[in-house]
Each structure stands twice: as C-alpha cells, then as structure tokens.
Structure 1
Amino acid sequence: MEYENVILEKQDNIGILYINRPKAMNALNTATVREISKAIDEVKENDEIKVLIVTGAGDKSFVAGADILGFIGMPPADARFLSDEGEQAFRKFDVLEKPVIAAVNGFALGGGCELAMACDIRLASENAVFGLPEVSLGVIPGYGGTQRLARLVGEGRAKELAFTAGTINADEAYRIGLVNHVYPAAELMDQARKLAKKIMNNAPKSVAYTKLAIGQGLQGDLDSGLRIESNFFGLCMATEDQKEGCQAFAEKRKPQFKGK
C-alpha cells in the first residue's frame, strides 16, 4: 500500500513504521492518523511480520504533537469525531496480536506521547522529550492520553504532567515508568531491533496471548483478569508451538516455533 505520511518497511520479520512528516516535526494530522490505522491493518494481515517498531523519521522528533492550526474554528461535533478517530486508530495497537515497540527518537508531545503510550513497550533516546501540552491550548489530550498515562505511571504523576502542560526528559520518563529503557540516539534503533529479535525467539501465539491477557486483564478486577489468564492458558494447549516447546524442553534442544 502506498502512503504519503508514513513509511512501512519490513526487515527480516520486523516491521518498522516511520511517521514521516519531517517538515512538520512528524506532527499528526488527520491524513497521518488514517494512514497509521491502515498500516496497522497491513501489519495485522502480514504473517511475515512478527514484531512492529514505531518511530519518527529523522533524528529530532518522534511525533511533535498534532496539527494545532486545524483546531482553529473547529465545531465541537467535529472535534469529538476527530478525537474518536484517533482513539480508534491507536486502539488497534492494543488489540494487534503482535508486540509493538515505540522507539522514541526525540519530541513525543501531545499526540506523539499518546502514540508512544499506545505501544506495548517504549524505548527512548537520550534526547527524547515527553509531554501532554493540551491544556495550554484550551483542549485536553484526545487520543487516549487521559486514560493511558495514569495506567502507566499512576494517577498523581499523570495528573501533574497533564495539568501543568509540562515536559519531562528521557531520564525522568524512565524514573516514573513511562519508558522501559533509555539509549544514546545512535543506538536506539539497533536496541529496538535487538529487543524485537529477543521477543521473536519465543512462541508467537504465546506472546500474542500474553499481550491480550495483560491488556484485557487491566480493564477489570483481579478475579476477572485471572479468568482471562486461565482461558488463554487453555488456548495455548491447542497450539503446535506448545507441543514443540515442551518437547524441545524434554529433549534439551532449542524449540523451532512456527506460530501455529
């Protein structure tokens, strides 16, 4: 599929999605959000892609927010539709049965921070900057930021960051648990690929079911989550990879998973 605002590549079994609007610091406009949504659909249907990495084109910005000028004069009904469209696009990362790694290579503000938070794992370069500046513009985070940030870093820290419209650097993002690791900018993509390959050593169905169990479990109470876990554990027993994994363990050899 041809895209104007994103680039989707495949390297071995790793998909790499670049947000590609360097003249606009990779800021999200409606067309870019729609292309992200289509790219996720393409990744979902491509059995050769086992893990997806999301990053920004260039070395200055992951995604530096949304297209603010487009907010001027926007009717409330249109704004609600805009928010819903972005939320639904980013929601596709949650239900994609493949791990998604954000390689945050610079500014991740507003919609960029929300895009990173929609991914499963976040890696940051040392020059990364995170923030939700929406209240300084008279709006609120509209692509899931009010919901995901508190789930990741806790209610108090989320409210402070969102209420003040402040920014934090990569080290602070790591300290509060917003990102998993911080690397020198020159090493970021290599480290993201290294992590992707480490994930791909394991049974694809098991990784997918683990992702879904964690995500679905977080939506309810512990007892509901435990039932979800048991259901996915049972589903694993119907896979060829489970049989191969246990047999390989018994034979003291490396398993050869096929994703079936």
Structure 2
Amino acid sequence: MTTTLAAPDAAPVVWPSLYEASERAWELEESLPRPTSRSPEQQAAAATAKDAARSLRVQFLDAHVDALYDRLTAGRTLALRIEELVEAAATAFPALVPSAERLASDRSRPQADKEGHEIDQGIFLRAVLRSPSAGPHLLDAMLRPTPRALRLLSEFTRTGVVEMEAVRLERRDGVARLTMCRDDCLNAEDNQQVDDMETAVDLALLDPAVRVGLLRGGEMSHPRYRGKRVFSAGINLKNLSSGDISLVDFLLRRELGYIHKLVRGVLVDRPGQWHSPHIEKPWVAAVDGFAIGGGFQLLLVFDHVLAAADAYFTLPAAKEGIIPGVANFRYSRFVGPRLARQVILQGRRIRASEPDARLMVDEVVEPHDMDAAIERSLVRLDSEAVLANRRMLNLAEEPPDAFRAYMAEFALQQALRLYGQDVIHKVGRFGARSA
C-alpha cells in the first residue's frame, strides 16, 4: 500500500522509512490491549515503535513542510483552518498525520486509554507554524470568519441577538455584549464553548453597528454560586478526563481562533480597504467571582479589565499538568518574570484586593458598582483613535512572528502534556470525583 499522494521530491530515503515505521507502530498498537491494560513490556514496545516513527516524522517535516503545505493548499491559494489542514494531510499523507478513523477511535475513549495520535498532529502543526512561509498563511486562515458566523451574520445584524449553547450575544448601544452562560458548570470551557465563542467574536467584529465589545460571565445555577455572576472556571477537567477535550478543536483553535481575533481582528476581503484587511474593535472584560485557568488567560488580550473587589485570579495549569495557553508568552509583560513564575509554576492565587492584581486589572470596584463602571469603560473605548492606537500597541507588544514561534512549540508541547501520565492521573481523579 502507498500513500495517496507521492512524497515530495528529494525524500527517497526518509519517506519510505517513515511510512514503514508508521505502519509498524499502528499494527502493533492494534494488536495490543488498550493502554491501561498493557503490561510494562507491552507499554515499552508501543512507546519504542511510536518514538521511532515520530523521529522520522520530524526529520521529514523539517526538510519538506513547505512543499507539503503548498501541495495541500494549492500553492497557498486555499485558506485551510487547522482542522481542515490536518484532515487534508491525513488523506494525502497518511504516514504523517493520523486518519479520521484513528482519531475517532481515540475520541471514544477516556484520556487514559487513548493512543496519543494527537501528538502526531502536534508534530505536523509545529512544523507548519515554524515555517516563515506556511506559518503566516495558516495564521491568516485562522483569522478569517467561520462559516457558522457568516451564516448567522444577517440574523444578528437584523435582530441584534444570537443565542448559543455557551454564549449569548446581544448588540445594544453600539456594544456587542458577550455573556458566557454555562450556568451549570461555572463557564468551564470545552469544544462547544470554543466554537460558540469564536462565532460570537466573529459576529461582533463583522457587524458594522458594533463599535466596542464586552465579555462577562452570566448568573449561575450551580448550587454553590446560584444567582451570582461568575467569569470562568477554565478548562472543563471532567471533559478532559473523559477524552472530550481535543488538541485541534479546543486547545489550538481557542488560541489561534477567537482569542487571536480579539487581538488582531477578523481577516476579510474588503475592496478598497487597502490600509488594513482586518476588522478590529476594542474589548472590555468584566470579572465577577473568579477567572481561573482559561478565564485568567483571556484577560491578557483585553484592552480594559474590570474586576469586582471580591474576585480572584489563578492559573492552576502546573497543578493540572498542562500549559496555560499563551499565558506563558503574555503574562510576564504585564507583571514581570518573578510574579509570572509564582502564578504559572506555583499556582499562586491573586485576589483583586491585592496590589499585585493591579498589574493585570485596570479597575477594581465593589460588586454593586460593576454595572456602572462597565458602562463608563465602554464609553472611554468608543473612539477611532483608541482603535488605531490599540492596533499599534498590539503590534509592538505581540509581534506576529513571536506569537507564531510560541504557538509552533505550544502545538507539540501541549499535545505531549495531554498524554503525560501525571496529567492522566490528575484528571482521572477529578473525573472520578465528578462521577
């Protein structure tokens, strides 16, 4: 059996070796019990076979990723999102990226029993993002509006309201008000939440009647916080334990999709708009209760952040065993390297009432004053000069090539962390408690 597309030229040795090594690893995997039922010897044999294939995969991609990417995107004339790109690569080069069938098999299992095929997606996407030609093209593809948002745009511009499972979007007085409304789980994040958030951000950016965006958590039905607003509890660890948090659809789409759009804007083809193909708008975030993990990470891209005086912030990624998104890239520029290490490596919790909180929060107000303070901040950001200056600040603070280099390494390192035994053990205990 051969690949459906021939390997790029100048790979007469590596490509056949890679294909054979990949086949051996997959055949061995299929002959063994599921990972949690394997003997130590079987675990070692599977790891050795996978490592051999992955070493060849890295060699091949280091030499040929540009030719491969050009072939998949028809000479960079197709704007493929990451989910489309890995699917196309799996069809064209099955030795490089796991097939849809293998991924579906893994997706049906709890995290502890997965084979870790997403690591191979991470290897592939790291190579693409590291490329000075392919990487920027992929980032631009991820800044384009999603098909779902384009389908909903006419409805939103007409009614000013869109209700989704995880987010409610309402336009009022020129403000796109995004309310995270996973009231039963404290706005914990999962694949659906990422899809809804990107759709909402796209709509807010595309609607010409919107001048400023606001993100806030809604009122909770969770017993401990019933009737209170909460910003976000971060990644849904129960979903991670059950295998329902994916590398591509959650961890990478979140950073390269809606969070990156909050920074850079949405990329559209606009005749006559020669000065910028991006539609950007200023954004305000309002924190009630707490911003944990992914909620904390979000605050680092907003133009103005308010917090209730009784709120707190924490990044428990080291405790969970994973990497806190792009916080490692962004947070130290707000607070300096020492505090960043205390928060990211040691899990330090920061309360809004502490002086250190003012390094990342613009205003701390009493809970009963939040609504009025939010409205005042929205008025202050409603200016063309604000829009131009935020663009220049973001360019200076977060150069596109530096962001791309970080995301390239993040694609692989986060994939490896998802399958680390410490992570599997920790989230497994959380899943058992939740059950």
Query: Smaller-chain TM-score range?
Result: 0.7 to 0.9
Residue 216 of structure 2: aligned partner? 55
The one of 322, 326, 336 equivalent to 1:154 is 336
**Separation of aligned partners in 1, 2:364 and 2:244:** 40
- The alpha-carbon deviation at position 53 of structure 1 amounts to 0.9
Question: Within the alignment, does 1:39 sit opposite 2:207 as a pair?
Answer: no
**Separation of aligned partners in 2, 1:160 and 1:219:** 22
Residue 217 of structure 1: aligned partner? 396
- The alpha-carbon deviation at position 181 of structure 1 amounts to 0.7
- The alpha-carbon deviation at position 71 of structure 1 amounts to 1.9
Q: 1:110 to 1:175 in 2, by over 3 A?
A: closer
Residue aligned with 2:359, SS = coil
Asked if structure 2 preserves the Cα contact closer than 8 Å seen for 1:18 and 1:56, the reply is yes
**Separation of aligned partners in 1, 2:358 and 2:340:** 10
- The alpha-carbon deviation at position 33 of structure 1 amounts to 1.2
Residue aligned with 1:18, SS = strand
Residue 190 of structure 2: aligned partner? 29
Asked if structure 2 preserves the Cα contact closer than 8 Å seen for 1:173 and 1:179, the reply is no
Q: Which is strand-richer, 1 or 2?
A: 1
Residue 362 of structure 2: aligned partner? 180
Sequence identity (%): 26
- Superposed CA RMSD in Å reads 2.0
Query: Counterparts in 2 of 1:191-210, with a 5 A limit?
Result: 191-200=373-382, 202=383, 204=384, 206-210=385-389
Matched residue count: 215
Asked if structure 2 preserves the Cα contact closer than 8 Å seen for 1:153 and 1:176, the reply is no
**Separation of aligned partners in 2, 1:175 and 1:113:** 12
**Separation of aligned partners in 1, 2:356 and 2:166:** 29
Residue 132 of structure 1: aligned partner? 315
Q: 1:175 to 1:70 in 2, by over 3 A?
A: closer
Residue type of the alignment partner of 1:63: S
**Separation of aligned partners in 1, 2:376 and 2:337:** 32
Q: 1:60 to 1:119 in 2, by over 3 A?
A: same
**Separation of aligned partners in 2, 1:174 and 1:8:** 32
Residue aligned with 1:25, SS = coil
Residue 11 of structure 1: aligned partner? 172
- The alpha-carbon deviation at position 73 of structure 1 amounts to 6.2
**Separation of aligned partners in 2, 1:190 and 1:75:** 39
Asked if structure 2 preserves the Cα contact closer than 8 Å seen for 1:64 and 1:107, the reply is yes
Residue 239 of structure 1: aligned partner? none
The one of 82, 91, 101 equivalent to 2:250 is 82
Residue aligned with 2:250, SS = helix
Residue 433 of structure 2: aligned partner? none
**Separation of aligned partners in 2, 1:120 and 1:57:** 21
**Separation of aligned partners in 2, 1:173 and 1:27:** 27
Residue aligned with 2:300, SS = helix
**Separation of aligned partners in 2, 1:50 and 1:32:** 24
- The alpha-carbon deviation at position 15 of structure 1 amounts to 1.5
Higher CA-based Rg: 2
Q: Which runs of 5+ in 1 are unaligned?
A: 221-260
**Separation of aligned partners in 2, 1:4 and 1:198:** 31
Residue type of the alignment partner of 2:390: K
The one of 291, 298, 301 equivalent to 1:108 is 291
Q: 1:156 to 1:28 in 2, by over 3 A?
A: same
Q: Which is helix-richer, 1 or 2?
A: 2
- The alpha-carbon deviation at position 80 of structure 1 amounts to 6.0
- The alpha-carbon deviation at position 82 of structure 1 amounts to 3.0
Q: Which runs of 5+ in 2 are unaligned?
A: 1-161, 220-227, 266-279, 400-435
**Separation of aligned partners in 1, 2:254 and 2:289:** 21
